[in-house]
Amino acid sequence: MDHEKERLLRSSVGALVGSDMKWSEIQLLATLLVRDATFRTRFAKVLGSSVEAFAKSENDLPPSDRDLAVVGNTTPGVARLLIDVVRRKKYSKNRVIRLIKSVSRKRGWMEGMDSMSTANIISRFAHSASDEEVTELLRRLGVALTSDPFLKGIGSREGL
């Protein structure tokens, strides 16, 4: 499997594992993808339709939100990792803001954080933060990049 397919596979599995799906649902999905060609085809079509719908809705966003969508595409590994960790640990938005403020030296992007979603705040942080700030936030969230091969792969790909 070439590098791009491997990255795509790992990102997809990471998103599934980090989702709110139950383990039994993920196992059922895996089984259906392997054993049921009709389901596999339907899954691919629904995924493709969803991507098209998202792309259309992204074009309908106001410029500031469209910029954030681009930010999400330029730092997907770091932002997704941070969002997944925060969701898994069930951190409140206020706790996330305090943690980000404690590690971030840049303050300009923080205006209006109270009205943003937690995911939006994390995405903006991931886009504007230095590697050291991201690494420090991960450390404070209890994530050790070097001890987990999957996270280490994301970290090395993202330059952490």
| 3-class SS letters over the chain | CCHHHHHHHHHHHHHHHHCCCCHHHHHHHHHHHHHCHHHHHHHHHHHHHHHHHHHHHHHCCCHHHHHHHHHHHHCHHHHHHHHHHHHHHCCCHHHHHHHHHHHCCCCHHHCCHHHCCHHHHHHHHHHHCCHHHHHHHHHHCCCCCCCCHHHHHHHHHCCC
The reported pTM is 0.46
Mean pLDDT of the chain, nearest integer: 75
pLDDT at 95 (0 to 100): 92
Q: Is pLDDT larger for residue 79 or for residue 34?
A: 34
- Most confident by average pLDDT, 53-57, 63-67, 128-132, 147-151: 128-132
Segment 28-48 shows an average pLDDT of 89
